[in-house]
Structure 1
Amino acid sequence: MHLVCIIGPPAVGKMTVGRAVCDLTGYRLFHNHMSIEPLLGVFDFDSPSFRRINRLVRREVIAEAVASDLLGLVFTVAIDFDRPSETARMRELVAPVERAGQPIDVVELDAPQRIRLAREGSPDRVDHKRSKRDVEWARAHVVEMETHARFTSDPARDGDLLAGHRHLRLDNSHGEASVTAERIVAELGLPRRA
């Protein structure tokens, strides 16, 4: 099972690009809000219970994907590079894939904040992310989060997120998911759906 981790700041297009990669390859998509949204009905975002169960769900889905007959899994997540605990959790999530000797690639998307804020409220985003339906709140939340978090890596300072695995950095300012997905598939040599 090939794991492709798409990382980047909020509203950079991780889910949309991930879906386009899956369309090209036949891989399955596990975007970060698939574990977030069900928990928000019970726990406050970022509360200890929310964080613990969110990590558990993500860890178990990835571990089961390794044990299954999936060709590949695209997992999306935003990581604060100023919090070593978040990069450590990422390494914990991919550990079952590493133990199985299966390939892991990291794709890091970036786009300026003004472009990402304009994406808040797009039909695709609000259809799959119930918590983003209040567009003004969602935009304010992005701005607020980015005052104390760094969601884009600095290669000189941070190196690669997962040492020993490919780390592809792409500008996703153009907003054409199919173009970005084609580039990911080509540059990583991913198999194309028959």
Structure 2
Amino acid sequence: MTGTLLFIIGPPAVGKMTVGEQIAARTGLRLFHNHLAIEPVLRFFPFGSPPFGRLVDRFRRDLIEEVAASDLPGLIFTYVWAFDLPEDERAVDQFAEPFRRRGGRVLFLELEAAQEERLRRNQGASRLAEKPSKRDVVFSQQNLLELDRRYRLSSEGRFDDRADYLRVNNTHLEPALVAATAISYFRIPLQSGQEGCVPQA
């Protein structure tokens, strides 16, 4: 069985986890949102420190490798990709490699939203519940603005002609609609009982 790896990429608080939850519920793909690796390590080492980087990276790679080798249908992995950093592109390729090596599908859903809307979502209940490090809302807001200033967090259409890539501005879209759009576009199989959830193209 060859599985699917769906990257959901975009800047902080754009809705990656929420859309991922919707896709996972309909398709059976397992959601691995970025902070599942980050939060446990933050208990021991500060963000950005060498031990933090090594541990988070190792956990991500090991989990992706194990899912790719399993009989699971696949994985949804959320990631903040700084498109101006070559090392981020290399990391994405390395995360994808276990699926590609086995002949699995590797897909990309990029989400974009207005900064004002992202600042509002940054305080959302589900985000704060799943990501304890974001509960200092003032710091989290400052971090969001700083990342926007320092990095290019949008592909700006670079991959729009690729069949494995879908870019969606979800500023005014409900997560369920974004999920349905991605499932339909990529033709991801629905799990049993989910027929009729995806709009027909």
Give the TM-score category using the shorter length: over 0.9
What is the aligned partner in structure 1 of residue 166 from structure 2?
A: 168
Number of residue pairs matched by the alignment: 190
What is the aligned partner in structure 1 of residue 60 from structure 2?
A: 58
Spell out structure 1 runs of 4+ moving beyond 4 A.
none
3-state secondary structure, aligned to 1:88: helix
What is the aligned partner in structure 2 of residue 103 from structure 1?
A: 105
3-state secondary structure, aligned to 1:109: strand
What is the aligned partner in structure 2 of residue 190 from structure 1?
A: 188
Residue-by-residue CA offset, 1:41-92 (whole Å, 9 max, x unaligned): 1111111111111111111111000111111211100011111011101101
What is the aligned partner in structure 1 of residue 142 from structure 2?
A: 140
CA contact (8 A) 1:106 1:165 kept: no
Matched, 1:180 2:178: yes
Amino-acid identity (%): 39
Residue-by-residue CA offset, 1:111-157 (whole Å, 9 max, x unaligned): 011110011111100010000111111111100121111111123xx
What is the aligned partner in structure 1 of residue 40 from structure 2?
A: 38
Q: Distance in 2 between matches of 1:143 and 1:164?
A: 30
Residue-by-residue CA offset, 1:13-63 (whole Å, 9 max, x unaligned): 000000000011111100000000001111111111111111111111110
Q: Using the TM superposition, give the Cα deviation of residue 172 of structure 1 relative to its aligned residue in structure 2, in angstroms.
A: 1.1
Unaligned runs of 5+ in 2: 193-201
Q: Using the TM superposition, give the Cα deviation of residue 8 of structure 1 relative to its aligned residue in structure 2, in angstroms.
A: 0.3
Give the root-mean-square deviation of aligned CA atoms. 1.5
Unaligned runs of 5+ in 1: none
Matched, 1:5 2:3: no
Q: Using the TM superposition, give the Cα deviation of residue 160 of structure 1 relative to its aligned residue in structure 2, in angstroms.
A: 3.2
Paired residue type of 1:19: E
What is the aligned partner in structure 1 of residue 129 from structure 2?
A: 127
Relative distance call for 1:6 and 1:35 in structure 2 (3 A) is: same
Q: Distance in 2 between matches of 1:112 and 1:151?
A: 12
Residue-by-residue CA offset, 1:83-112 (whole Å, 9 max, x unaligned): 101110110111111110101100000001
Relative distance call for 1:192 and 1:121 in structure 2 (3 A) is: same
TM-score, scaled to structure 1:
0.94
